[in-house]
Copies of this chain bind each other. A is one copy, B any other.
């Protein structure tokens, strides 16, 4: 899957007339080998560990490109920081976010998605994207 994501990004880069650089590849490797839902700063720290000369701005810019290329998605959990998650082609999921330990559990529920569509239809609304997040205490933190 990493291979495919890398190709997808490189194809995007090429299609846009952009250039392949050692920094972009470095950020890409760090992103693909990291957990999902990392903040820009967290990613920056990981990249920094590999190459301390990388600039903060480069990480910001590269992450935005990942989102545009479709291999990542920007998410906001209300803590004031932008996070990026891995995107699998044609897949969608929502989140359970623990307000105590910060852990994030992903889930998919076809029934809910269908009901959302019905609601939108009732209002003549054309859905492009949606977000659903349940905030609370995860099972580990409840013990």
Contact = CB atoms under 8 A, between A and B. Distances in A.
Contacts of A129: 134-136
B119 A139 contact: no
Interface in A97-143: 98-99, 105, 107, 109, 111-112, 115-116, 119-120, 123-139, 142
A133 B75 CA distance: 13
Contact of A115 (B98, B109, B119): B109
Contacts of A134: 116, 119-120, 125, 127, 129-130
Category for how many chain A residues contact B: 20 to 34
Contacts of A119: 96, 107, 109, 112, 134
A64 to B, nearest CB: 15
